[in-house]
Amino acid sequence: MSSPSTVVTESSPANAPLPWALIGAACLGSFAATASGTTRAPLLIDMARDLSVSIPLVANLVTATSIAWGVTSFLSGIASDRWGRRPCLIGGTLALTLAMLGVALAGQFWSVAVWATLAGACSGVFMGAIFAEVSSRVPDQQRGRALGWVMSGQSLTLVIGVPAAAWLGASIGWRGVNVCVGALAFLAAISLWFTTARPAKGAVRAGGRISLRQAMTTPVVMLLTMGIAERICYGLVVVYFATYLQQAYDLPLAAVALPLLIMAIGNLVGTALGGQLADKVRDRLGTFGFSLIGTGIAGVALFAWQPGLTATVAMAFVYVFVNALGRPAFMAALADVPDDVRGTVMGLNGTCASVGWAGAAGLGGWMMATQGFGGFGPLAAVLAAAGAVLAFLRRGAARRKAA
């Protein structure tokens, strides 16, 4: 440990240049992986008409995609620690390219469902390894920013990907949009091929035995549990906010686009600033805990108070902004494990995120049926408070251990 008088120089890890080429490739890959599912949203009617099925049936493809993503994220994490991360990163994005082409060329709904599920599985393979790869190539002092940039690729699918899919779909159809996503995945694979050619300094040599018990320590289990709570809070708004606006303010579907865009921008800005905050404040668990507290408070205000459309959209912006502000700190804290199990831990995070999304859809549907949207605020507050308590408990235990 450095003494208090140590001067941080330009060559120190805290000021070393980030591997921007790798981060760019990772951002492109995360954009393509997330776009493989989210860009389907504005194309549901065209897909249902072309495939001669109902719109809800096409919409339910997200369930199969999410399950496949969660399973392969976990398996990819273990495989990346056992055999190296590069095969998962390049193989996952190349396979995603083929899967998206399969979706575009499929003639019947069942074949679209199979290829879409495979696309979700391929996305999980990539996402299960990319956070561990980036974490291994940057010092701990810079992980918040680096991982924040990788996550921004996912945020950009809501800000750019979905509107672009709607615009392109009008001219090239839903099949053409899937070809475009496949092309992006191919570009990501090529970029990752060059940016991961040299192994990370200090990376553990592939080929050793991976112990799941070694990865699933008490701190990691607590962090993963916090992550599930946070993803449910986020998913409640992302999944149901459009429906909430339509019911609360009698908005037509077309008028929901701008509020959703504003909300997506809040997530993007919060993620970018959260990465900076995670590296400067250094109290990552505290940052994440306070972020969850803010999320709970904003959730109560958002769903319990209807002062007008503009104010509601502003509160939704605050909700996702505060939520995203703590996410890079959470990811950086989760990455603070030995490199030989980091892929497994980050892969488990992807699996838990899928559980969180499924929980948001299920709990939100149950709450809407029994209590209406008025119950969403208390639900978000309880989940956020539970996650915050775990964060502060873990922070206290870490400080006592350090003392």
Same fold, 18-142+149-198 and 210-396: yes
Task: Encode pLDDT of 126-164 as tens digits.
Answer: 988 898 899 888 888 888 888 888 888 888 887 788 778
Task: Encode pLDDT of 316-363 as tens digits.
Answer: 999 999 999 999 999 988 888 888 888 888 888 888 888 888 788 788
Burial of 332 (0-12, 13-18, 19+ CB in 10 A): buried
Please provide the DSSP assignment of 273-328 as one string: HHHHHHHHH--HHHHHHHHHHHHHHHHHHHHH--S-HHHHHHHHHHHHHHHHHTHH
CATH fold group of domain 210-396: Growth Hormone; Chain: A; (1.20.1250)
Domain 18-142+149-198 listed as CATH 3.30.450.20: no
In the structure, what pLDDT confidence band is assigned to residue 89 with cuts at 50, 70 and 90? very high
In the structure, what pLDDT confidence band is assigned to residue 280 with cuts at 50, 70 and 90? confident
Mean pLDDT of 195-221: 70
Q: How far, in Å, CA of 317 to CA of 324, rounded?
A: 11
Q: How far, in Å, CA of 96 to CA of 120, rounded?
A: 8
Task: Encode pLDDT of 359-380 as tens digits.
Answer: 887 888 888 888 888 888 899 9
In the structure, what pLDDT confidence band is assigned to residue 12 with cuts at 50, 70 and 90? very low
- H/E segment holding residue 388: helix 376-402
Work out the end-to-end distance of the chain between its first and last CA atoms, rounded to an integer number of angstroms. Answer: 14
CB atoms within 10 A of CB 197: 8
Please provide the DSSP assignment of 318-373 as one string: HHHHHHHHTHHHHHHHHT-S-HHHHHHHHHHHHHHHHHHHHHHHHHHHHHHHHT-G
- Please report the pLDDT score of residue 301 as a whole number: 93
Give the SS3 label for residue 210: coil
Q: What proportion of the chain, given as a percentage, has pLDDT over 70?
A: 91
Q: Which own/partner pairs from 5-10 qualify as long-range (CB within 8 Å, at least 24 positions apart)?
A: none
pTM of the model: 0.80
Of 99, 91, 95, residue with least CA distance to 130 = 91
Average pLDDT, the chain: 85
- Look at the alpha carbons of 215, 221, 226, 232 in this order and tell me if their dihedral is positive or negative: positive
Cβ contacts of residue 254 below 8 Å, gap of 6+? none
- Please report the pLDDT score of residue 292 as a whole number: 94
Show me where the domains of the chain are located. Answer: 18-142+149-198, 210-396
In the structure, what pLDDT confidence band is assigned to residue 5 with cuts at 50, 70 and 90? very low
